[in-house]
């Protein structure tokens, strides 16, 4: 019996909280995410009850809370960039459209390896001229080559195939030579502490880019607002702009209010329980 069938069969009798938690953990062993709306339907409970289950399990560090649901708890890994690039395409397009407005012709931009920035790169190729692009990411560089007026510099280093990018001390040393008008980046997770990453190599490149750019913008879809990952990249006050596709929790807004960072929520925002982008 699969986990969904097991959950539905179990609802013939009233499930205890412990039983629901066990089934939720079993679901997360075979799928990347569970939605609160689905859990409410499968357990024949209210959405509020399902949400309380997820919140309590996150508090107990049994799973990781996401917007509208949960994922398995894992602070040290995430999918390869070619897999991440297929997530939430509509949301990321809206984020890219909003972020494009910050870029002027002739500017110097830094991009690290982040799938959320791919749509932004596609927009810039069509809508801007004479940009100088500094990146450690081969996918970003390949997109930018489609505009012949762009000057593209790729940092050397140790190639990491899962990211399609170069990392290591050679990469960070190279990046320190430049000053950029704007850095565009993303992260594995964003919390009131700031952006975090799954390993030190990714965090180190972002950290250098943030310090070598006059402005830093973070592009994060709704799933990025979750429990911090392995390594902190920077505090929130190191950011100038945060672009996302859904309203954020009040605790994050309160933390953001102590900084100079500007939050941009795209319109229309992602709605929990609605059909998710593939």
- Based on the domain organization, do 36 and 103 belong to the same domain? no
Question: What span, in angstroms and rounded, lies between the C-alpha atoms of 246 and 61?
Answer: 24
SS3 state of residue 125: helix
Whole-number pLDDT of residue 270: 43
- Based on the domain organization, do 65 and 91 belong to the same domain? no
| 271 within domain boundaries | no
| 12 within domain boundaries | no
| 9 within domain boundaries | no
Q: What integer best gives the mean pLDDT of the chain?
A: 85
Question: Residue 239 corresponds to which tokens in the numbers above?
Answer: 């950011």
CB 132 within 8 A of CB 108: yes
Examine the fold and report which residue of 72, 91, 115 is the final residue of a domain before the chain moves on: 72
- Based on the domain organization, do 96 and 57 belong to the same domain? no
Examine the fold and report which residue of 41, 72, 103 is the final residue of a domain before the chain moves on: 72
Whole-number pLDDT of residue 12: 55
How do residues 162-187 score in pLDDT, each as one tens digit? Answer: 789 999 999 999 999 999 999 999 99
- Based on the domain organization, do 162 and 198 belong to the same domain? yes
How do residues 95-152 score in pLDDT, each as one tens digit? Answer: 999 999 999 999 999 999 888 899 999 999 999 999 999 999 999 999 999 999 999 9
- Based on the domain organization, do 62 and 90 belong to the same domain? no
- Based on the domain organization, do 128 and 222 belong to the same domain? yes
Whole-number pLDDT of residue 14: 81
Which residues neighbour 253 within 8 Å (Cβ) at sequence distance 6 or greater?
263
- Based on the domain organization, do 114 and 191 belong to the same domain? yes
| 258 within domain boundaries | yes
- Based on the domain organization, do 158 and 225 belong to the same domain? yes
Q: Which domain holds residue 26?
A: 17-72
- Based on the domain organization, do 190 and 61 belong to the same domain? no
| 1 within domain boundaries | no
- Based on the domain organization, do 208 and 133 belong to the same domain? yes
DSSP 14-74: PPPHHHHHHHHHHHHHHSS-EEHHHHHHHHT--HHHHHHHHHHHHHTTSSEEETTEEE---
Whole-number pLDDT of residue 78: 56
What CATH number did the domain enclosing 41 receive?
1.10.10.10
- Based on the domain organization, do 243 and 121 belong to the same domain? yes
| 95 within domain boundaries | yes
Whole-number pLDDT of residue 92: 85
Is 278's pLDDT higher than 80? Answer: no
* DSSP at 238: G
| 158 within domain boundaries | yes
Number of domains into which the chain is organized: 2
- Based on the domain organization, do 68 and 189 belong to the same domain? no
Give the burial class of 208: count Cβ atoms within 10 A of its Cβ; 0-12 exposed, 13-18 middle, 19 or more buried. Answer: buried
Is 74's pLDDT higher than 50? Answer: yes
Is 268's pLDDT higher than 80? Answer: no
Q: What is the pTM of this model?
A: 0.69
DSSP 136-205: SBHHHHHHHTTSTT-EEEE--SEEETTTTEEESHHHHHHHTT--EEEEEE--SEEETTEEEESSHHHHHH
| 50 within domain boundaries | yes
What CATH number did the domain enclosing 245 receive?
3.40.50.1360
């Amino acid at each position: 019996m699969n986990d969904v069938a097991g959950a539905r069969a179990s609802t013939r009798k009233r499930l205890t909280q412990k039983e629901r938690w066990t089934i939720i953990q079993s679901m997360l062993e075979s799928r990347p995410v569970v939605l609160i709306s689905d859990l409410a339907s499968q357990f024949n409970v209210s959405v509020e009850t399902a949400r309380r289950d997820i919140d309590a399990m996150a508090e107990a560090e049994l799973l990781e809370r996401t917007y509208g649901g949960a994922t398995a708890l894992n602070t040290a890994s995430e999918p390869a960039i070619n897999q991440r690039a297929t997530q939430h395409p509509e949301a990321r397009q809206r984020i890219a459209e909003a972020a494009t407005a910050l870029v002027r012709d002739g500017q110097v931009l830094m991009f690290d390896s982040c799938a959320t920035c791919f749509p932004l790169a596609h927009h810039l190729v069509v809508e801007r001229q004479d940009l100088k692009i500094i990146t450690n990411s081969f996918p970003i560089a390949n997109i930018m080559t489609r505009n012949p007026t762009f000057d593209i510099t790729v940092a050397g280093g140790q190639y990491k195939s899962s990211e399609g990018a170069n990392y290591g001390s050679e990469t960070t040393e190279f990046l320190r030579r430049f000053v950029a008008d704007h850095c565009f980046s993303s992260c594995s997770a964003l919390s009131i502490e700031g952006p975090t990453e799954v390993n030190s190599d990714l965090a180190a490149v972002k950290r250098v880019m943030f310090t070598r750019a006059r402005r830093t913008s973070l592009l994060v879809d709704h799933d990025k607002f979750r429990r911090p990952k392995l390594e902190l990249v920077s505090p929130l006050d190191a950011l100038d702009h945060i672009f996302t596709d859904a309203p954020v929790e009040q605790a994050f807004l309160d933390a953001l209010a102590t900084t100079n960072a500007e939050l941009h929520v795209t319109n229309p925002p992602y709605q929990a329980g609605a059909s998710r982008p593939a």
